Amino acid sequence: MVLCVNVILFLALHLLPGMKSSMVSLKNNGYDGIVIAINPSVPEDEKLIQNIKEMVTEASSYLFHATKRRVYFRNVSILIPLTWKSKSEYLKPKQESYDKADVIVAHPYLEYGDDPYTLQYGQCGEKGQYIHFTPNFLLSNNLLFYGSRGRVFVHEWAHLRWGVFDEYNEHRPFYISSQNTIEATRCSTLLTGSNVVLKKCQQGSCITKPCRRDSQTGLYEAKCTFLPEKSQTARESIMFMQSFDSVTEFCTAETHNAEAPNLQNRMCNHRSTWDVIMTSDDFRTASPMTGRNLPPHPIFSLIKSKQRVVCLVLDKSGSMNSEDRLFRMNQAAEIYLVQIIEKGSLAGMVTFESFATIQNNLIEITNENASQRITANLPQVANGGTSICSGLKAGFQVITLSDQSISGSEIVLLTDGEDDKISSCFDEVKQSGAIIHTIALGPSAAKELETLSNMTGGHRFFAHKDINGLIDAFSRISSGSGSITQQAIQLESKALNMTARKWIIGTVPVDSTIGNDTFFVVTWTIQKPEILLQDPKGKKYKTSDFREDELNIRSARLRIPGIAETGTWTYSLLNNHDNFQMLTVTVTTRARNPTTPPVIVNSHMSQNTAHYPSPMIVYARVSQGFLPVLGINVTAIIETEDGHQVTLELWDNGAGADIVKNDGIYSRYFTHYRGNGRYSLKVHAQARKNIARLSLRRQNKALYIPGYIDNGKIILNPPRPDVKDDMAEAEVEDFSRLTSGGSFTVSGAPPSGDNTRVFPPNKITDLEAKFKEDHIQLSWTAPGNVLDEGKAKSYIIRISKYLLDLKEDFHNATLVNTSSLIPEEAGSIENFEFKQKLLKIENGTKLYIAIQAINEANLISEMSNIAQATKLIPPQALTALGTKSSGIRLAILGLAVVLSIF
């Protein structure tokens, strides 16, 4: 008997927050804690601040009415970059930072335009990462083709806060409706307009021609454009065309266009945007405000970024003697202070056992000598108990003794021990405003560490036995200032179990965007190995060129003079000891110049805590500037507390956990639970053989309106910057990047790691269908036996002439014989062709098709997206007719077009 999965349980993951922290809260109908951050590269401009205020003020009123008097913007902070001049009205930051901002203002990379968009790659109902506005969008007055800035902000806020999607589709601008009309992809269909081909426009006058229909697809030709009427009566929808005065609402269940081939329907199972919004955490408790009074205007605070302040708070208790933990901590801390922390930062250090000791007050990191003033005091002996609160309080003291504010400063807390008194300082920590990054070393580290990170907006990490976990954690703790070109980039972090008297060879590509401040570091557990390093031009560096640390922490470092050569570097290591030992190689660098951003990788899990049997999703975003990087190999390594590792290849194929193909977001489900406790995530991204490329496409953005019709006259908006292709012509060079995605906690999981009887195949989201003569051809991406891993056992395919019948009663729709269909490996492209005999098919007939997958445990996936196939018999001659309508009707007995006038 086939078992059904409890869909609510299975989808519980998608309603939980991701790793991106935000300070936004909703109380008494007002949003507080919104942060709008200006990138340090943006020139100082008072008009920019003024326009931001005007945009948010307008947006607050628009949002209030759009949500039926439920929410508005009450308190907004504008984060001024450190590069701007100081002013008396600028306040000091608390925990606000550029990398945690809800809205960022930054120049685009490569002039691909000023489209406002939201970085959004979670499932339906999941919050986005941030909204991106360009300075030109906020300052220019000729960008009216998006509508007013306040309306655009609300469109993007719905992406960011409530996880809804766009209701247009630039790649499928038209579709054939159930009423046999060709419709513009939109919501709602009450928005009127004309479908025309623009041939020539001069001095406000345009020559147009009617849209011709493609005899193969039944849709309009590629150059056909839907131009809306300027005067509208429809109030929906903000997620389609917020620019029109009449549009003041989101599509509801009554007005939603469930047929439109847009991302909202595909990702949210054809639910309306208002339905998704009303099930969000915000609206479960937000009732409409009573009375007729409007909410007050937003209150703005101008906050100026400050010099970075970091204090290391390091455990030197007795338990740090085991498994070389003290050595490994010192190795990683030295790499952080010498190679990772940004120049100009203030850094100090505290060590603790049963009590805390201040080792260094704050020192400005101007060069390597300044860093070594701190590393010289790294602890050499471990003993005593574990008092984490003592360490934190001493860290606060280090900051205040240098006349710095604890609020907004960072503490890096590393410990391997338990402490039953850690909760005694939670209130003090929370009130301090400090950001606490925690590194749990080994399985016995205090379970409350994550609470410290969560309550202060800090990162959380877990490191097992080898040094790399610690180095990866420290390397991830970079400045949140937005100055990407100043941040350290990790190119390699490899642990090597070396047998006696054996060589090992490895390579590291250095691309032309990086090479400044480049370090190669080798660590060992017993005896220093023989080291040979060769640059792309053949220059060799030997063991004697690597400087061994004076603290005897078993590490040797080479800083490449000047700018590292572009190309492939080769390293060779010889374990010249009689026994095997662990060697590690770490390579870090920075951007070559401030004008060309390097490729960077950011990774995280979909949630901080997993309660078995909820699946999780691994995300890795690969970008250069703000442009997605495509066609590369991205691998996630997830490690448990007992050292067991799971390796996952992440995909950008628009299937399974990945919502959009080719957007630079690489994703995969994680289900390999192996007991409870902490798990760590590391991601390695590599481009080889010149196959990587940049994409100029943007998802989840305000719709550009090419023009509109006013009293029968076509009015065109200014054109967007010309982008010749979806892809930039220049390929991305070979590169290698490595980053930590932090840690997450698992509870309720069995120790065996068996997941075959818990998780069904993943939902198919890219089903496509078309008629080929009397047959129907289907294609989709194969799901797995367990979500997106392995092979499904079989498929269930059902068809109907009616969309709602299939959507609401899939199990009673007509069944297709799939006995000859053998599932392929997950991620493969499936193709299936069949001849429908049970339903009468004639010219103009539309069939709706959906599919489910079954695995070996007889668990069934969710129903797929619903694909549509329309039977069209090409006529002998095609007569072009005028097309001023919301759509054209397809005659059942031929392809004649019936004109429908509004």
When pLDDT is averaged across residues 226-234 and rounded to a whole number, the result is 89
Indicate if the pLDDT at residue 5 is higher than 60. no
Instruction: Say if residues 853 and 181 touch (Cβ distance below 8 Å).
Output: no
pTM over 0.95: no
When pLDDT is averaged across residues 381-396 and rounded to a whole number, the result is 97
Task: List the single range of 257-266, 435-444, 745-754, 882-891 with lowest mean pLDDT.
Answer: 882-891
Question: pLDDT per residue over 185-194, tens digit each?
Answer: 999 999 999 9
* Superfamily of structural domain 768-871: Immunoglobulins (2.60.40.10)
pLDDT at 112: 65
Indicate if the pLDDT at residue 210 is higher than 70. yes
When pLDDT is averaged across residues 546-568 and rounded to a whole number, the result is 91
Distances in whole angstroms, Cα of residue 812 to Cα of each of 245, 376, 709: 44, 74, 45
* Rounded Cα–Cα distance for residues 314 and 388 (Å): 9
User: Three-class SS of residue 714?
Assistant: strand
pLDDT at 890: 37
Give 258's DSSP letter: T
More confident residue, 879 or 494: 494
Give 339's DSSP letter: I
Per-residue confidence band for 756, with pLDDT thresholds at 50, 70 and 90: low
Per-residue confidence band for 709, with pLDDT thresholds at 50, 70 and 90: confident
pLDDT at 145: 73
Nearest CA to 249 out of 194, 190, 295, 296 is that of: 190
Give the list of residues 6+ apart from residue 435 with CB closer than 8 angstroms, or none.
95, 97, 408, 409, 410, 411, 456, 457, 458
Nearest CA to 399 out of 387, 386, 412 is that of: 412
Average pLDDT of the residues of the chain: 88
pLDDT at 878: 35
pLDDT at 715: 82
Indicate if the pLDDT at residue 1 is higher than 50. no
Task: List the single range of 160-164, 187-191, 195-199, 795-799 with lowest mean pLDDT.
Answer: 195-199
Question: pLDDT per residue over 58-112, tens digit each?
Answer: 999 999 999 999 999 999 999 999 999 999 999 988 889 998 999 999 998 776 6
Domain boundaries, the chain: 25-166+280-304, 307-478, 768-871
When pLDDT is averaged across residues 780-795 and rounded to a whole number, the result is 96
When pLDDT is averaged across residues 406-411 and rounded to a whole number, the result is 94
Residues written for the chain: 902
pLDDT at 874: 62
pLDDT at 697: 64
What residues are labeled active site? 156
Indicate if the pLDDT at residue 17 is higher than 80. no
When pLDDT is averaged across residues 437-449 and rounded to a whole number, the result is 94
Indicate if the pLDDT at residue 635 is higher than 90. yes
pLDDT at 875: 56
pLDDT at 285: 80
Task: List the single range of 322-326, 340-344, 726-730, 877-881 with lowest mean pLDDT.
Answer: 877-881
Indicate if the pLDDT at residue 879 is higher than 60. no
The CATH architecture assigned to 307-478 reads 3-Layer(aba) Sandwich (3.40)
- pLDDT above 90 covers a percentage of the chain that reads 67
pLDDT at 730: 58
* Rounded Cα–Cα distance for residues 170 and 190 (Å): 19
